[in-house]
Structure 1
Amino acid sequence: MDSGSGELSHMENGDSKALMGKELWNGRTAQNMSTSLLRKKSDPMLVSRVRFQMLRQFLANLQEVILGTKLAVLFPAIPLAIAADFYKFGRPWIFALSLLGLTPLAERVSFLTEQIAYYTGPTVGGLLNATCGNATELIIALFALYQSKIHVLKYSLLGSILSNLLLVLGSSLLCGGLANLKKEQRYDRKQADVNSLLLLLGLLCHMLPLMFRYAAAPGIFVADSTLQLSRASSIVMLVAYVGYIFFQLKTHRQIFESQEEEEDEEKAVIGFWSAFSWLVGMTLIIALLSEYVVGTIEAASESWGISISFISIILIPIVGNAAEHAGAIIFAFKNKLDISLGVAMGSATQISMFAVPLCVVVGWIMGIQMDLDFSLLETGCLALTIIVVAFTLQDGTSHYMKGTVLCLCYTAIAACFFVHKIPAPLDQTNVNLGLKPSSGFSA
């Protein structure tokens, strides 16, 4: 990056705290590298003439954070969404504007966590990136949980997994194969194998409550037992995810590192405390927009004539993670499939093994009966998706036909949920099991 921005970050933090070069590269995740393609280099001359140092530093940070992305054109959607809510505009407009506003915010969160990683080192930085990689989906899910919209929560998390495994991965393999017809595209199977194994473990934990419910004798009330099983399975999933993070950042870090060297030496462009402050502020804005999205999704569904399941499973994941998805496709064009796989498989693993069980545990603490029973249709789609992807990635090579099949699978699932209508009596909290209210940690 430019020297002017580097000087500002050093003035704020001191030269001794900045960690550069290869060590930082090891702390980055595939999600960070994918969104970095949408960033723009800023011109330090625009703020260098400002006399006051604090004002100059603030303007430089503002330039890097707000204008340093090609998605900056979508930032006006944020104040428009707030104004639409304040002046009581149509709720579908609030939903659409909030969803658009989340797109650049998700990319900026990735940028800010990467900036913080320059000062915390590769291990802490990698852990921060792994935790915040799907912050938007997690915040939307937590607001849905808080508002007891369990069906929206389950649909949105399921949609994130499906979009990463089928749409993002499929588009990357398709575009990469077409752009490299005369080259054999290869990738490291080790990373894909680890993620596939974790996804299968998550699938097992999802299927157990469903099978338990169907295996019960007619007339036997199994809601409490199913809820307890879901909570126990969630703890197992979280333990597995912690082990995965340790495996990824410590013992087998080389498996998840990109084999490509950086073309240019990268440096922090804003200081640690500036990045932390911006990260907190943008997280609060994401929380506000997420509340708008969750609160207006039913109105948008009725106004547009589209089912809630389609909006939650298809539209929200596509728009919310557009920056990350676009980056994965661009890397596939450049024949860097390891990064594209890291984006798709890594995000799906994080949602399945961290976000979903975390919502179950948080619901347990709040006295909300969130379980892992995603019903037969949703669980079936998840199971078939994981199996298809595992078969697709088993040989370590890629061509456009594999991507075509994955994209067509996603299209078929999207069509399924487009025509899927939830009956009115079931479109409520705890639709699957008819659970009775609980308090505290007991089922």
Structure 2
Amino acid sequence: MRNRISSFLLIAFFALSAIAHFLKWDSILQFVISAISVIFVAGFLGKATESVAHYAGQRLGGFLNATFGNAAELIIAIFLVKEGLFDMVKASLTGSIIGNLLLVLGLSIFAGGLKYKTQNYNVSLAGLNGSLMIVAIIALFVPAVFLNTHSITQRDTNTLSLIVAGLLILAYIAWLIFSMVTHKSYLADVTDDQDEELPHEHAPAWSKKKSILYLVIATVMVAFVSEWLVGTLEVFTSEFGLSELFVGAFLVAIIGNAAEHSAAIMLAMKNKIGAAVEIAVGSSLQIALFVAPVLIFVSYFTGRTMDIVFTTIELVAIGVSVFIAKSITQDGSTNWYEGLLLLVVYVILGVSFFLV
């Protein structure tokens, strides 16, 4: 019964969002309907990905969830790049990174910690994730410092941005080979051996073929709804007097990350904290090491290159998020209080961004 209601709401809001877009309804109403539709579609995407993850295993499943969960973020950002809204793109990337590291990871650890006193996962994976997050910070910090100190011109900054973007993509591909192929067993989750004990608790929602089919359908639906949502952002921002920084960093990021929110929390409450961390931290790494660099190349091919220089506020927000997330996850053990600390930092940043 619950699944039928969810399916009905998904189809209803998707159809309503399409009608609102093509019939040119009021922009604010379009935004609200499209935002709700994105949340339902992202939930459908998360469920389909979780079902696929059952057949692929925890690590690969977490990677797939992070990847398809970021589909909404990437598609929204591509449309924003085409519109030339680079500041909002960078803000949304910032919001996605801090949202995953603080909100998604915080809620997952908190919810899982309320049910289980402590939850453990692979310490080696935690350490490598932390190192990758620091590499991402370095890649964002260096171009900003060089440009803001006038050591290089804007043209050179664009060149540097393209080079850094290319290196980050190579580093991310190398990480996938390392973690999924050459050192797969080394980074295996500590709870993998529990899967066989309670198979009925982790039964997939659909068959393997149906799961893959629904995953493709959900991704296509996300693409359409994302385009409709982006078309209303400018009007919504000016109507309520909000800054592009706040809208991009929190509103767009929260909506775009709805899939990760639901999937990671559900997995943590099933004592699958390793998969939950993989979704939250893995998604942030994917945004910083792959999505952001890809968007720079997309902007280059549209004729106007978006540089990789983030504002001081954005760099501080990302740096603070990486610092606290690395501090909490590096020991491979979590509890509800650590999740609460992540959420406190997220609220502090949210209020600060709102007041900018």
Shorter-chain-normalised TM-score: which range? 0.7 to 0.9
Rounded Cα–Cα distance in structure 2 between residues aligned with 1:189 and 1:357: 28
How far 1:117 moved relative to its partner? 7.8
Residues 10, 41 of structure 2: 8 Å contact kept: no
Aligned residue number for residue 351 of structure 1: 287
1:298 aligns with 2:237: no
Rounded Cα–Cα distance in structure 2 between residues aligned with 1:117 and 1:335: 15
How far 1:384 moved relative to its partner? 1.5
How far 1:74 moved relative to its partner? 3.9
How far 1:111 moved relative to its partner? 4.8
Overall identity of the aligned pairs, in %: 32
Residues 205, 230 of structure 1: 8 Å contact kept: no
Name the TM-score, length of structure 1 as normaliser. Answer: 0.71
Aligned residue number for residue 161 of structure 2: 230
Of structures 1 and 2, the one scoring higher in RCO (CA 8 A, sep 6+) is: 2
1:382 aligns with 2:318: yes
Aligned residue number for residue 276 of structure 2: 340
Rounded Cα–Cα distance in structure 2 between residues aligned with 1:396 and 1:286: 34
Mapping of 1:88-237 within 5 angstroms? 88-112=24-48, 131-180=67-116, 183-216=117-150, 222-237=153-168
Change (3 A) 1:290 1:97: same
Which amino acid is 2:160 matched to?
L
Which has more radius of gyration?
1
How far 1:144 moved relative to its partner? 0.8
Query: SS of the counterpart of 1:75?
Result: helix
Aligned residues: 350
Rounded Cα–Cα distance in structure 1 between residues aligned with 2:94 and 2:234: 18
Residues 81, 94 of structure 1: 8 Å contact kept: yes
Change (3 A) 1:318 1:72: farther
Rounded Cα–Cα distance in structure 2 between residues aligned with 1:124 and 1:177: 24
How far 1:125 moved relative to its partner? 8.2
* Stretch deviating more after TM superposition (77-86 or 307-316): 307-316
Which amino acid is 2:199 matched to?
D
Residues 66, 280 of structure 2: 8 Å contact kept: no
Rounded Cα–Cα distance in structure 2 between residues aligned with 1:417 and 1:267: 40
Mapping of 1:32-43 within 5 angstroms? none
Residues 186, 396 of structure 1: 8 Å contact kept: yes
Residues 143, 291 of structure 1: 8 Å contact kept: yes
Name the TM-score, length of structure 2 as normaliser. Answer: 0.86
* Stretch deviating more after TM superposition (308-317 or 88-97): 308-317
Aligned residue number for residue 254 of structure 2: 318
* Stretch deviating more after TM superposition (334-343 or 369-378): 334-343
Change (3 A) 1:405 1:281: closer
1:253 aligns with 2:187: no
Aligned residue number for residue 302 of structure 2: 366
Point out where structure 2 has 5 or more consecutive residues left out of the alignment: none
Change (3 A) 1:177 1:114: closer
Question: Which structure's residues are more often helix, by fraction?
Answer: 2
